[in-house]
Amino acid sequence: MPELPEVETIARGVHNRTRGDRIVEVWFGSHTEPFKTAAAEQAKALEGRLIRGVNRSGKHIVCDLGPAGARHSDAQWVVHLGMTGRLVVTTPEAPVAPHTHARLTLASGREIRFVDPRRFGRLEFRDLEKKAGFAGPGKEPLTIGTDEFAKLFRGRRLAIKAALLNQSLLAGVGNIYADESLYRAGIRPRRMAGRLTRPKLERLRLAIKEVLEHAIQLGGSSVSDYVDADGVRGFFQLVHCVYLRTGLPCRRCGTPIRRILVAGRGTHYCPKCQQ
Partner DNA sequence: CATTTCACCTGGTGGC
Partner DNA sequence: TGCCACCAGGTGAAAT
Residues marked active site are found at 2-3, 59, 265
Number of amino acids touching DNA (CB under 7 A): 44
**Edge-to-edge, what's the strand order for the sheet holding 122-127?**
50-57, 60-66, 75-80, 122-127
Smallest distance, DNA to C-beta of residue 53, A: 22
Burial of 271 (0-12, 13-18, 19+ CB in 10 A): middle
State whether residue 212 is helix, strand or coil: helix
Which distant-in-sequence residues (6+ apart) come within 8 Å of 114 by Cβ?
Answer: 34, 79, 85, 86, 87, 100, 101, 102, 103, 121, 123
Buried b (16+ CB within 10 A) or exposed e, 248-266: eebeeeeeebbeeebbeee
What is the closest distance, in whole angstroms, from the C-beta atom of residue 73 to DNA in the complex?
A: 23
180 part of the interface to DNA, by CB under 7 A = no
**Which of these ranges, 21-29, 124-132, 158-166, 198-206, lies near DNA under the rule CB under 7 A?**
158-166
Note whether 2 binds DNA by CB under 7 A. yes
Site string for DNA, 227-246 (x = CB under 7 A): ----------x------x--
181 is a contact residue toward DNA (CB under 7 A) = no
- Residue nearer to DNA on the CB measure, 2 or 13: 2
Q: Does 158 bind DNA (CB under 7 A)?
A: yes
265 contributes a contact to DNA by CB under 7 A: yes
Q: Give the x/- contact pattern for DNA in 101-140, rule: CB under 7 A.
A: ----------------xxxx-x------------------
Phi and psi torsions of 116, nearest 5°: -160, 95
Q: Which is nearer to DNA, 107 or 223 (CB)?
A: 223
* Rounded CA separation 14/211 (Å): 23
